[in-house]
Amino acid sequence: MDLLSFERKLDATMMRKRLDIQEVLKKPMKTKRKLRIFITNTTYTNQGSKEGMPTSTNSEECQTTWELKIEGRLLEEGQSKPDSRTPKRKFSSFFKSLIIELDKEMYGPDSNFVEWHRSPTTQETDGFQVKRPGDKPVKCTINLQLDHQPQQFKLDPRLGRLLGIHTGTRPTIVTALWQYIKRNKLQDPVLRDQIRCDEYLQSIFGCVALKFSDIPFRLNHLFMQPDPIIIEHLVAVEPGETKSVTHWDISVEIDDMLKQQMNSFLMSTVTQQEVMSLDTKIYETVDSINALKTKREFMLSFASDPYGFINKWLMSQSRDLKVMLNMEGDPEEERKVDLYQKEWLKEGVCRYFYAKVQQRRAEREKDLGVRQLGGQ
C-alpha cells in the first residue's frame, strides 16, 4: 500500500536524520559572536563624615579613591546593543585568566598587579572590580586570556606560515598538516607509516623522516598559548564623584544554539513517546484499512456475480476442509453429477458393499464361535 511505503520511508528518514544529528553532536559546533567589554571607572571623594553630620573642609581629611569595573555582554549579530533574548552567561566564563597591571611608580612593585585565574572550583562572576586610593590619572594594562573550548594553540611561526594557520585546535592543525603531506606526496610509497620531510618540514622538525605516530609528540613542542587580549586603559580621576564608561568589542566562540536544540531533541523522552504513540496509531489504522478492504472486495465480488461467487466460495471451503481433514480426491470432480454415472462407479459400489458385508459376517461368526465355546 502507498500508506505503508510512505510510513517506511518516513521511519527511514527519521532514523537517518537522528544518526546524522548524533554524528554532528560529536563534533564541536561553534559560532562566532561579539562580546562587548565595558570598562567603567568611578571616582569617590570621602570627607570623613557621616550622614547628617557637618562636613569637614580640611583637605587632609579628604581622601579620593577610584573604582575600576570590567563587565561584558554578548551582542546580537548585526546589532550594537546587548542581546536580551540570549541566555545570560557569566562574564568570567569567557576567560581563563585576567591580569590588571597598574602603574608601578604609583602603587609599587607589590600591589600593582591584580590577578584572577580559573580553577576547578572557580565561581563564575558577572565582572571584576578593583578599588584603589589616588587622586591622579592611572595607566593600567588589562590582560585577558580567552578560555577556548576545545583548547586552541598558537603555532610556531614557521609551521604557521607553512600551513596558513595562526591559532587553531589540535585536530585542525593535524588535519592541515596531513593535507600538506598528501598534497606534496611526502608519504613513503613502501613504508606507509613513514613521512619523508621536505626542506620546510626538516627545518621545523629537525629530521629527514618521521613516523605518523611521532607527529603528535613533535607538535607539542611547536604549540604555544594563544595571544592574550591586551587593553590599555587610563583611569581618569577627577574632583568630585564622576563616572566614565568605555567599551571594547572582541570576537569569541560560543556553542551554537542549534547544537543545544538537537541535543534536547535526542534526549527528550516526550518526543520519543509521541513518536511511539503515532506509530501505534498508524499500525491500528493500517489493520483497519486492510479489514475494510477485504470486506469491500468480498461484497463487490458477490454483487457482481452471485452464482460464480458462491461456486468459487464453495470450492474454496471444500479445499480447506480437505486440507484440515487430510482427505484425498478432487473436490471439483466430486461436486459434478457425471462422476456418479460412470460404469466403474457401479462396480466400485458393489465391491464396497461386498467388503462391508464380509466384514460384518466375520464379526458375527466370531461372536457366535465365542458363545458356542462358552456353552460347552
Alpha-carbon distance of 90 to 14, in angstroms, equals 37
Would you place residue 56 in the very low, low, confident or very high pLDDT band (cuts 50, 70, 90)? very low
Query: Residue 49 pLDDT more than 90?
Result: no
pLDDT digits (tens, 9 = 90+) for 345-368: 788 888 889 999 999 988 888 888
12 three-state secondary structure: helix
Please name the residues in contact with 337: beta carbons below 8 A apart, sequence gap of 6 or more.
none
353 three-state secondary structure: helix
Query: By C-alpha distance, which of 238, 242, 59 is closest to 134?
Result: 238
Would you place residue 375 in the very low, low, confident or very high pLDDT band (cuts 50, 70, 90)? low
Buried b (16+ CB within 10 A) or exposed e, 66-94: bebbbbbbbbeeeeeeeeeeeeebebbeb
Q: List C-alpha distances in Å: 166 to 152, 157, 294, 365.
A: 10, 8, 71, 118
pLDDT digits (tens, 9 = 90+) for 298-340: 899 889 988 888 888 888 887 777 777 766 666 667 667 777 7
Q: Give the range among 19-33, 94-108, 120-134, 192-206 with minimum mean pLDDT.
A: 19-33
Would you place residue 154 in the very low, low, confident or very high pLDDT band (cuts 50, 70, 90)? very high
117 three-state secondary structure: strand
DSSP label at residue 330: -
> Which residue in this structure is represented by grid cell 572550583?
121
Q: Is residue 172 packed enough to be buried (19+ CB in 10 Å), middle (13-18) or exposed (0-12)? A: middle
Would you place residue 371 in the very low, low, confident or very high pLDDT band (cuts 50, 70, 90)? low
Q: Which three cell numbers stand for residue 305?
A: 456475480
pLDDT digits (tens, 9 = 90+) for 157-190: 999 999 999 998 898 899 899 999 999 999 988 8
Q: Give the angle subtended at the CA of 335 by the CAs of 329 and 337, to the nearest 5°.
A: 115
